[in-house]
Copies of this chain bind each other. A is one copy, B any other.
Amino acid sequence: MNGFACKNPATVQAKDFSFTGLHIPGNTRNAIGSAVTAATVTQIPGLNTLGISMVRIDLAPWGINPPHTHPRATEILTVIEGSLEVGFVTSNPDNRLISKILQKGDVFVFPIGLIHYQRNVGNGNVVAIAALSSQNPGVITIANSIFGSKPDISADILAKAFQVDKSIVQQIQWRF
């Protein structure tokens, strides 16, 4: 389905249903101070057609998981360690920001397709485990999709959309 083949049930093995590595901190030494380690159908072939997947999210102090959406999944997340601000924005016309600061053991839901983010608001690292309601949820990082596409979206369009000078758009595009 969607390019992933199904194995013969008679020959599947435990390794087709498992993955190792969610205990390993992702490398957060990057511009946004965060990393996501995924266990989706790409890593676990046995997930095909089963409608779920899991990820680990690491955030260095003040790191962010920048605004993004999952085109095919709702996300549910729990904080394993640290203090994490989370938020999603409701669709037009309200565009309400629904946000909360989560502590260890708190759970939060990001409904399918809505833009959401996470930010470490503590002094230590944040570790979170999240699950998604698709074996192949997809991720769209808004900044990359808008300002870092290949090729670029025309700067005229973005200048008008974000109500800024075209030069600012081009400056941002240059960074992505």
Contact = CB atoms under 8 A, between A and B. Distances in A.
Contacts of A56: 78
A175 B163 contact: yes
Contacts of A87: 153
B106 A20 contact: yes
Given A69-B69, A71-B111, A139-B92, A52 B133 contact: yes
B163 A143 contact: yes
A110 B16 CA distance: 11
Nearest to A119: B157
B157 A64 contact: yes
Interface in A64-109: 64, 66-67, 69-76, 78-80, 85, 87-92, 94-100, 102-109
B100 A74 contact: no
A18 to B, nearest CB: 5
Contacts of A162: 143, 147, 172
